[in-house]
Amino acid sequence: MSDIRDSYAKMLAQNPAPAGVKFEAVDMGGVPGTLVTPNEVKTDAVVMYIHGGAYIVGRPDGYHGIGGNYAKMLGARVYMPDYRLAPEHKFPASIDDTLRAYEWLLEQKIPANKIAFSGESAGGAMVVSVMVAAKSKGLPLPAVGSSISPWANLEHTGASMSNREGLDPLNSKPVLDILARAFLGDTLANHPLASPVFADVTGLPPILVQIGENELMLSDAMRLATHLADNRVRVNLEVWPAMFHAWHFYATMLPEGQQAMESSVRFIEVGLADAKR
């Protein structure tokens, strides 16, 4: 497992931190995390960025690129919780930790309407599932969410799981099946907090769903967007032509990555502004 995590960290290193931001360790109510602060803070709103990695790899220190870009582009502080990973800590440890990190933000007297969620892949799914968990606990919900390439259905029943096989360089269905089982343990794949396409999403704030046309997760991301809309959640679905899983990581070398980041930032800015009214 350590070799897999090391390889993933090397891949993430291709998206370096931008200039003009600083990083520091923070204790988010018992959950370790990273605080990203831009040199120019323009707002008292904050972002909680939930990293991906199939729930088994990834640490906030590998996400300095995307976390730093959000901080710099929004002029806002970004918090990245370092949730526990499977298979050592199976479902629902990652969701429990991220929910605790959100509770901690609220305990710091940051109003919910000044908090945005964003995340990619497993983190993109957790953007929704942590909101659902927060709602179940009676917590106020954040203002807005941005879900990038969400791994939203661990049953892997979407058509793109087969008809996009070989087009997405970062994923394959057999590997995703193994990763899902490592995360779930004995939990069924249709558990609503593991697969938010099955969750009660009524009352959630506006959510942006971004997905690449060549992704195995395309169909299930579209299903998530439809599920949100059917439950009267304001949702924007962006399907990016010819893009692959979490292409935002390559924003420094891929124009579409930068453009997708800019679109996410705009959606967050509008959501935060609307929540003030």
C-alpha to C-alpha distance for 119 and 274, rounded to whole angstroms: 21
262-276 per-position pLDDT tens digit: 999 999 999 999 998
pTM assigned to the model? 0.97
**In the chain, where the domains are located:** 2-276
* pLDDT for the residue 12: 72
| Nearest residue to 16 (alpha-carbon basis) of 85, 86, 66 | 66
Is 121 catalytic? The answer is yes
Q: Which of 94, 245, 264, 269 is catalytic?
A: 245
Q: Which two tokens stand for residue 20?
A: 């003009």
pLDDT class of 50 with cuts at 50, 70, 90 = very high
Rounded (10°) angle between helices 122-136 and 93-107: 60
Is 215 catalytic? The answer is yes
Strands 77-81 and 31-38: antiparallel
Q: Which of 51, 64, 118, 121 is catalytic?
A: 121
120-162 per-position pLDDT tens digit: 999 999 999 999 999 999 999 999 999 999 999 999 999 999 9
Is 245 catalytic? The answer is yes
Q: Which of 215, 227, 264, 269 is catalytic?
A: 215
Superfamily of domain 2-276: Alpha/Beta hydrolase fold, catalytic domain (3.40.50.1820)
Q: Which residue has the tokens 């526990």?
A: 84
